[in-house]
Structure 1
């Protein structure tokens, strides 16, 4: 094989390689572009559209969507109900320290997630929700005494919910439910409450005992009055005729009981005489 034939073969093989690679590269580029033009928004989420870094007014709903490759970026954000729990320390109206645990259910307003992302970002729970819970609890707790926080718990919870809902709405979030698990006070206050309850129980017992004594005394007075009235009426009805009648009734009862035998011994002013010995 001479040199001219070798050079000719090399040029022929070199010409075929570009003709094969060009369509392949073009196909890969088209596939990559097409792949980056498609976005699927999952259930329970929304898509925030960034175009060259700028947040767009359009919010993508669940399902299949197109985007401009290399120009638009889609940020998925969860709009399902979420839970945040926070431990808070506040002061009551009577300056008692109150520790409470608050659990909150909330969700992002789906149509306004782009505004939330633009103003707050994705760390909205740490930046907005937790501080808002603390502010709402402190603002409402200061309106009630420690005792009222317990006795009016449902009212306190409703006010905290109203206050917190207003705060979250300014950041495009909606409050679903709030649950104040418990109010905890200092050991000194708990001891004072216990002593107060004991004192109230003792005072109540004393009042009940006094009422019982008063009732019993009144009952005794009424019984005495009734007995006195009965005696008075009986005294008014006693006459000489009634006395004679009672004597006759007594004699009749004695006769009914007599067995017909005379007594063997009689007595009186004279000495006792045995009648059997005189026979």
Structure 2
């Protein structure tokens, strides 16, 4: 049986600090502690965020920290970051993990028909009032305000319109009504509404077909009404043209009558014009020349022609 060998004793050299070294180490440790404490009071607010300071002594401070470096009281002030960039919430049937709080909005139209709406709401927090938002709502404002209010206002807006109007001509009016109602709610809760987007509105297929047939019938009626109006306009145009033609004929007759009246008056006042007129009418067949009224005789051109041929002269007949 062998006895265990004992390990040799090793003597370590003793380190002794000089009096100056004993003073340096506490100072170094104090400096490191001070740097660490100061670093706890330096807060950096990232781009697009704001900081809300909560003091253990005074509660939420009203001053909101904007982007950049800020100094707070270490271990007393706590900075809560809020995303101030544009955000959106979508309530749709095809949303990821859609459930009762995330899925599409089911509403009823003015006549009581079921309508399903997919909606996207874009918003941001009010940077200047982020402290009030933190104090009154906290970070859970999506669940406490936005989603329930969006559902409520969409149902209210859809209930003001008929299904036919919603899916045809009044879609923008529905969006405007929802936007106005939500803007008031968001403003009261220190949020800023950017836009409301109605992604899709769905109604039962049977109702959609009935509405389409009704709209087609209304369009046909409008076409027929337009044709009737065109026919009425054509008839009115014909009446107006006939009245115009009648008035023109009347005016022409009046003009002719007035011309005859003036001509008769002129003949009465100038009897010589009668002889001139008769001569003009008979000139092609009767060769008679009317001499001036002072001569008081007519000249028979035929007799003059015969005299010229025989060489004798026939006295002209004088009128008394």
Alignment TM class, shorter chain as reference = 0.5 to 0.7
Residue 32 of structure 2 aligns with which residue?
28
Runs of 4+ in 1 over 3 A off after TM superposition: 9-21, 197-212
Superposition deviation, residue 199 in structure 1: 4.0
* 2:117 alignment partner in structure 1: 100
**Runs of 5+ consecutive residues of structure 1 not aligned to the other structure:** 1-5, 219-279
| Offset of residue 46 of structure 1 | 1.1
Quote the Cα distance in structure 2 between the aligned partners of 1:128 and 1:15: 67
1:91 aligned to which of 92, 97, 108: 108
Cα RMSD for the two superposed structures: 3.0
SS of the residue aligned with 1:43? coil
Partner of 2:206: 188
Structural mapping, 1:1-279, within 5 Å? 12-13=16-17, 18-52=22-56, 54-86=59-91, 87-149=104-166, 150-200=168-218
Separation (CA, whole Å) in 1 of partners of 2:36 and 2:157:
57
Shifted more, 126-135 versus 194-203: the winner is 194-203
TM-score (normalizing by structure 2) = 0.58
| Separation in 1, partners of 2:161, 2:106 | 15
Report the Cα distance in structure 1 between the residues aligned to 2:107 and 2:147, rounded to whole angstroms.
15
Q: Secondary structure at the match of 1:144?
A: coil
2:35 is paired with a residue of what secondary structure? helix
Alpha-carbon distance in structure 1 between the residues aligned to 2:185 and 2:51: 25
Q: Write the distance in 1 (CA, Å) between the matches of 2:228 and 2:122.
A: 53
Distance 2:219 2:65 in 1: 64
Judged with a 3 Å threshold, the aligned counterparts in structure 2 of structure 1 residues 62 and 11 are, in CA distance, closer, same or farther, namely: closer
Deviation at 1:207, TM superposition (A): 7.0
Deviations 1:41-100 (A, max 9, x none): 222211100111821112112222111001111111111221121221111110011111
Question: What is the TM-score with the length of structure 1 in the denominator?
Answer: 0.66
| C-alpha deviation, 1:198, in angstroms | 4.5
Partner-residue secondary structure (3-state), 1:23: helix
CA distance in 2, matches of 1:114, 1:210: 68
Q: More helix by proportion, 1 or 2?
A: 1
Assess, with a 3 A threshold, how the Cα gap between structure 1 residues 31 and 92 changes in structure 2: closer, same or farther.
same
Paired residue total:
210
**1: distance between equivalents of 2:221 and 2:203?**
25
Helix, strand or coil: the match of 1:181?
A: strand
Larger Rg: 2
Give the 3-state SS of the residue equivalent to 2:138 in structure 1.
coil
